[in-house]
Chains A and B, each alone.
Chain A
Amino acid sequence: MRSACLVVALWLGAVLLPGACAYADAFSGLGSARPDEMLGAISTLAVSGDPQAGTVLRALGERHLFAAPDGGLYIRQGETCVDARTGQPVATVPDGLKPVRLNNRIRTALAGAQASMALLAPQAETRLKAADALYARHDPAMVPTLEHALSVEKDAAVRTRLMQARAATILAQPAQQDTQDQRLEAVRSLAAVGGLEARGILAGVAQSDAEAPQVRHAAQAAVSSMDWHLRAWSVAQNAFYGLSYGSVLLLAATGLAITFGVMGVINMAHGEMMMIGAYVTWMVQQAIRVSVPALEPVAILVAIPVAFVVCGGMGVLIERGLIRFLYGRPLETLLATWGLSLILQQAVRSIFGPTNIAVQTPAWLSGSVAVGGMDITLNRLAILVFAALVLGGLMLVLRRTPLGLQMRAVTQNRRMAALMGIRTPRVDALAFGLGAGLAGLAGVAVSQIDNVSPNLGQSYIIDSFMVVVFGGVGNLWGTLAAAMALGMGGKVLEPAIGAVSAKIAILVLVILYIQRHPRGMFPVRGRGVES
């Protein structure tokens, strides 16, 4: 990479500015406190052809560039320091080194400079990325650079992108009399690209009074056709949001579907089990960071079984120590577990402090992929998949394992199950542990999208109960359907009436639905249910 930059820089220097002479000035401008000087220095440096330019600019972007009071510039690499101008290591680090400061304006310029340098990189992939960056940036000053790159580019994909970038850049320039045709073509080119970025540029053109009428009209037409497209995609996008929100609700509710739906324990400490799951995630991340830093990106995967075991174990303890004295008195379980939730919250507050803790999101869970006109954020997608896996796994456990069979037997007829030789206390403890473990899994997932603080559980408990009850107590399919219905409903309503009203509307709809169907969406039927 570094050598590539060097080559590019040399090449640039050779072609554009033979006999570059201002490099000392350019470098010293980087250490300036004035943004204008820095911007000038960056653009000069980009075209200077200096062998160090690429390295220095990268160091600047990563905030590894330091300025000494005497105007010297140094790049810090771990414990050692390198002179920025020469690339030679320095034996003694000068006193008073300060990092060179960036702001968003400088960052933008820096990205442009780096992209313009990368346009001539040997790898097509690098050039394509650079073209992407310049397209997004569409800085009028870049037209010559783009023209030059186009004149030498062979790769078809990169060429297309460069043309689009040029079109965007041309439209970013103020309109002039003689550029009409060029601009019209640019508008057409961008209209074909589509997407929010292009829409942004075209909308600017469409509103501009300086623009020639036919260019303006073409831009207006392009914008309205794009809006139509975007609107169609936004339906799909909303559907994804709904699914994703529903999957969070589903994860939060599955554990409750076991403890509450199957066992009849109104477990108000369910949210706290989620909270503990999230804290376990954090602890696992910290432990891995300290012990095996190489595994850091997959710490979250390690956290999944750990959280399940820790929360499940706590669940078993809670069942043995508290819940088992309260069977047949569901309301008492509400009071006792409410007390328990207060204790757990305060305990976490005492141990970890009351503030949020920072659970890292690994790089492979950050960002999004574009699918047509919509963005699928990776962490949400991962949660969606995770929720499906958890639900599927739970179904398997309930249907295919002895524990599942015993659990169903115990909940259907405790006495008969006991007579058949099932150790009901053990089944109770394991079932409650399973529910708590599932809450722990939900905690791992939630740590990727929400605050992790002692209050985490409180924000999910009401929604979780709502989901279980809405779906029909004791029916996992009902829980799935309810979570998705509530998630979708909320997200469909939200753009129209706002987040708060959407939430209120959903609550009212649930209330009314329960009036019509007093046992939820999927009631457990049969003669023995009532009385």
Chain B
Amino acid sequence: MNPFSVHGPRNLRGVIWMAVAVVVVAGGLAMASLLPEGSPFHASAFVVSLAGKYLAYAMLALSVDLVWGFAGILTLGHAAFFALGGYAMGMYLMREIGARGVYGNASLPDFMIFLSWKSLPWYWWGSEHFAWAALLVVAVPGLLAGVFGWLAFRSRVSGVYLSIITQALTYALMLAFFQNGLGFGGNNGLTDFKDILGADLHAPLTRAVLLVVTGVLLAASLLAARFVVASRFGHLLVAVRDAENRTRFLGYRPDQVKLLVWVFSAMVAGLGGALYVTQVGIINPGEFAPANSIESVIWVAVGGRGTLCGAVLGAILVNLGKTLFTAWLPEFWLYGLGFLFIGTTLFLPQGIMGLLRHVRKPPAEEVTPEVSDTQGGEA
């Protein structure tokens, strides 16, 4: 792998500004949405929910960038952690519906009644408490990532092997969640939510608050990620990414290093998933689809790998493009998306952030990538 296509922790200057910008934009939109509808600055519920969705996706992208950009783990299954966080929050929201479901049963969600279940399965216990759900949102993805990562990193699974088993993980989870018998609503997933903490999910104020919360948590995740990668641990992360064996002979344990960032990243993804569900209103097994994970990698690539800012920027821009093009050119938007990916890899190997840097600083010290002898294998 050519180290010059990615960056060390030096390119983190913009992160703080990005965090500020995220909060300002989210806050601004939230306030604008509370203005009366006639006002020229009014932001519709559509825009607010879109913004919320983008920011949640940005958290997923951020988590992917942490492991891919800084630890060199190409994950093709990160959406699994995102979806698990989403399901954890969805369970709580489901319980909040209470007796307002179509069958009017206060203790069982509708889909369980439809399966003729008589009582809640054990893993739904406590899901009516927000605090428990909030804990699950990070704990479940963290735990799964911990077990999976411990096994994988300890036995030095790396490169494409790791990528493919992450994909197998999310694919297996997708199949499992599709099963109605698992108790998470099967193909339909969890939907038709009403309240969160007693506040009507469809009320403009709730939406505005959720958007602000998402913005703040994204900013916090950005800063936390920056703290991690700018620390000495972050340097070690990059060292592990570029020359894992070397770190071993220096006395470091790369498996521990990777595991730590992997679990942290899964938690960020889970948090993103939870915020996503509150604003999109549905979580279903489709979120586990391997294509979603690949797309999240692509957001990072478009934004610029290993820059944190790039992940956020890429997620927002690609999804904004998707929203616009599916509406403007419903028949042709896939061509656009396809060419975007090809163009990015061919002409913007460092993503948008690379382009920005390029514009600011002429390419005097650009190093041409050398073709390595052995292709493949190492990711």
Contact = CB atoms under 8 A, between A and B. Distances in A.
B377 A473 contact: yes
A326 interface: yes
A328 B379 contact: no
Contacts of A462: 167-168, 171, 290
B369 interface: yes
Interface stretch (B58-66, B92-100, B175-183, B269-277): B175-183
15 contacts: A264-B376, A328-B1, A328-B372, A330-B160, A332-B301, A338-B294, A339-B340, A342-B335, A342-B337, A343-B342, A413-B373, A462-B167, A469-B161, A504-B172, A510-B168
A330 B157 contact: no
B341 A336 contact: yes
B115 to A, nearest CB: 16
A3 interface: no
A268 interface: yes
B332 A346 contact: yes
Contacts of A411: 375
B335 A346 contact: yes
Contact of B375 (A335, A338, A341, A414): A414
B372 A343 contact: no
A415 B373 contact: yes
Contacts of A340: 338, 342
A350 B337 contact: no
Contact of B167 (A333, A465, A501): A465
Given A336-B346, A515-B155, A530-B245, A510 B339 contact: no
Interface string A515-531: 11011100000001111
Nearest to B372: A328
Interface in A443-470: 458, 462, 465-466, 469
A266 interface: yes
Contacts of B301: 332, 335
A507 B340 CA distance: 32
A326 B345 contact: yes
Nearest to B340: A339
Nearest to A514: B165
A107 interface: no
Interface in B133-178: 148, 151-152, 155-158, 160-161, 163-165, 167-169, 171-172, 175-176, 178
Nearest to A474: B376
B206 interface: no
A342 B341 contact: yes
B298 interface: yes
Contacts, number: 155
Nearest to B244: A531
Interface in B322-379: 331-332, 334-335, 337-342, 344-346, 349, 369-377, 379
A503 B178 CA distance: 12
A328 B74 contact: no
Contacts of A198: none
Contacts of A511: 148, 165, 168-169, 172
Nearest to B151: A515
B116 interface: no
A45 B138 CA distance: 77
B175 A473 contact: no
B165 A339 contact: no
A264 B377 contact: yes
Given A326-B346, A330-B160, A462-B168, 16 more contacts: A266-B160, A332-B349, A334-B297, A335-B298, A335-B344, A336-B345, A339-B341, A340-B338, A342-B334, A343-B338, A414-B371, A458-B291, A500-B179, A507-B168, A518-B157, A519-B161
B2 interface: yes
Contacts of A514: 152, 157, 161, 164-165
A457 to B, nearest CB: 12
A331 B1 CA distance: 9
A322 interface: yes
Interface in A317-334: 322, 325-334
Contacts of B337: 339, 342
Contacts of A343: 334-335, 338-339, 342
A508 interface: yes
A329 B349 contact: yes
Given A343-B335, A514-B161, A331 B349 contact: no
Contacts of B178: 500
Contacts of A332: 5, 301, 345, 349
Contact of A331 (B161, B168, B379): B379
A520 B164 CA distance: 11
B369 A328 contact: yes
A315 B202 CA distance: 50
Interface residues of B, number: 56
B365 to A, nearest CB: 20
A345 B157 CA distance: 33
A529 B377 contact: yes
B338 A339 contact: yes
Contact of B376 (A347, A466, A473): A473
B175 A339 contact: no
Contacts of B335: 342-343, 346-347
Interface string B97-130: 0000000000000000000000000000000000
Contacts of A504: 172, 175-176
Interface in A494-515: 500-501, 503-504, 507-508, 510-512, 514-515
A336 B346 CA distance: 8
A122 B362 CA distance: 94
Interface in B274-306: 290-291, 294, 297-298, 301
Interface string A112-151: 0000000000000000000000000000000000000000
Contacts of A325: 346
Interface string A463-483: 001100100011000000000
A518 B161 contact: yes
A263 interface: yes
Contacts of A335: 297-298, 301, 341, 344-345
B338 A346 contact: yes
Contacts of A266: 160, 163
A498 to B, nearest CB: 9
Contacts of A265: 376
A471 to B, nearest CB: 11
Nearest to A347: B335
Interface string A253-287: 00000001001111010000000000000000000
Centre residue among B151, B301, B375 by max chain A CB count within 10 A:
B375
Contacts of B370: 328
A528 B374 contact: yes
Contacts of B341: 335-336, 338-339, 342
Contacts of A414: 371, 373, 375
7 closest A-B pairs by CB: A264-B376, A339-B341, A343-B338, A342-B338, A507-B172, A264-B375, A346-B334
B373 to A, nearest CB: 6
A473 B349 contact: no
Given A264-B377, A338-B341, A518 B298 contact: no
Contacts of B163: 266
Contacts of B375: 263-264, 327-328, 330, 411, 414
Given A469-B160, A516-B155, A330 B165 contact: no
Nearest to A472: B161
